[in-house]
Amino acid sequence: MKIIIDTNIIIADYRMASPSFQVLLENCKNESVQLIIPQIVIDETINKFTERLESAINTTYKEIKTLNKITGSDYPLPLSGAVLEAEIQRYKDYLNEIITTYKILLLPYPETKHSKIARRAMNRKKPFNSNGAGYRDTLIWESVKQLLTRDQEILILPELIFISKDSDFATPDSQLHADLADELEEELYNPESLRIFLTLNEYVDKIGKISLEQVERLEKKLKSKEFDDLDLNSITSKFLFENFIGTELNNNDIDLPDWYDEPSVQFINQGYEIEDISVRKLSALKILIDVSFDCDVHVDFYISKMEYYSMDDEDRPSIINSDWNDYVMWAQTIETINISMSILINSEMEVLGCEITKINKSYAQYAE
């Protein structure tokens, strides 16, 4: 199976180190999938990395200058243009190493006529949006089509997986945009030969995990807590306290009223029990453990004073600061949410990576 990924998937994890990325890369290594990255995606990733690094350096300069100003000190500014250039080159080398190690195929820029792209832009045909932006997306789309077979009798469907969270390619429920599906039919491609996923987590959950031998035995031991060196509660709890507290939440995902503004995680109750455990062996040295559990989470948010005083007493949330400003209060509620996580370990029971994959039924997404 061929898989092509978009820029937004790489820049969500520049080092490609998350458990989901490791699943994909291990699949490449054992040749169960072929990962393809368009050259335009590589170029754009390096450009985004450069912009992000420049932003971080500028922020560092500003903060050190502020520190010097308020303390009367003279701390040196440690970063220079040479650091930026060196880090950019180091990242390019890192990408090349990943490409080589995992036998990733680079796809050259498509030889699409400019007149064809111009007509597409003028007609606002996807992946161009209503504002006429979409040149880069169009080149990626043309690259995707290069990998499809013009044959209605393809034995294995889908022929190609495209992973991108760009709304100009797909609908919120991971369906290829109707404009693009129609185009495939018009150009004698089978629309079912292409399947799109919005996140790596979704791909891993539905297709990417590889089942190997002895997982049932390992799963049974984990459920009975027979491993002293692998306490799933401690691992998940440590990750949540270090990475989940302070995270902004989506009102719809956790069933909060729309008038609760900017909800975020303030605290997590540790007294939860892991309910579901499943195990997948990625290789002889890497094992992926998926867990899910219900957890009580303290969520803080802002609520307008007008909205608060119009509510019935029993429906009012707890107030942390009733006079946050002239218009809103700072409030809190406790919500029970279901969290799904992936834990990547090695054969020595050492944790290599950990991430939240779902909050309730919504796939978690990470991007700067």
Q: Vertex 144, ends 141 and 148: CA angle to 5°?
A: 135
Question: Looking at residue 208, what DSSP letter applies?
Answer: I
Q: Which domains does the chain have, with CATH numbers?
A: 2-206 (3.40.50.1010), 212-363 (no CATH)
pLDDT at 1: 75
Half-sphere exposure of 315 (CA within 13 A, CB side): 11
Residue with tokens 């997590």: 268
CA distances from 358 to 197, 293, 338, 355 (A): 15, 11, 8, 9
pLDDT at 212: 39
Distance of CA 205 to the CA centre of its chain: 13
Cis peptide before 38 (omega within 30 of 0): no
pLDDT value at 132 more than 60: no
Token pair belonging to 126: 């996807």
Cis peptide before 110 (omega within 30 of 0): no
Q: How many CB atoms lie within 10 A of CB 291?
A: 21
pLDDT confidence band for 356 (50 / 70 / 90): very high
- Nearest CA to 288 out of 366, 204, 178 is that of 204
pLDDT confidence band for 133 (50 / 70 / 90): low
Question: 110 versus 66: which is more confidently predicted?
Answer: 66
| Separation of first and last alpha carbons in the chain | 30
As a whole number of angstroms, the distance between CA 140 and CA 194 comes to 14
Token pair belonging to 343: 């834990």
As a whole number of angstroms, the distance between CA 222 and CA 216 comes to 10
Within 8 A by CB and 6+ apart from 277, the residues are 219, 222, 223, 232, 289, 290, 291
pLDDT at 135: 77
Q: Vertex 212, ends 105 and 289: CA angle to 5°?
A: 90
> pLDDT tens, 6-22?
999 999 999 999 999 99
Average pLDDT, the chain: 84
pLDDT confidence band for 215 (50 / 70 / 90): low
pLDDT value at 277 more than 70: yes
Q: Which amino acid is at 242?
A: E
Alpha helices per DSSP H over the chain = 7-10, 19-29, 39-71, 81-101, 114-122, 135-146, 178-186, 200-203, 215-223, 232-239, 305-310
pLDDT at 300: 93
Determine the angle formed by the axes of helices 81-101 and 39-71, rounding to 10 degrees.
150
As a whole number of angstroms, the distance between CA 89 and CA 77 comes to 22
Q: Are 368 and 11 in contact (CB under 8 A)?
A: yes
Token pair belonging to 350: 């050492």
pLDDT at 210: 36
- For range 336-342, the mean pLDDT: 92
As a whole number of angstroms, the distance between CA 345 and CA 288 comes to 6
Q: How many CB atoms lie within 10 A of CB 195?
A: 21
Alpha helices per DSSP H over 168-278 = 178-186, 200-203, 215-223, 232-239
Q: Are 272 and 297 in contact (CB under 8 A)?
A: no
Q: How many residues are there in the chain?
A: 368
pTM comes to: 0.69
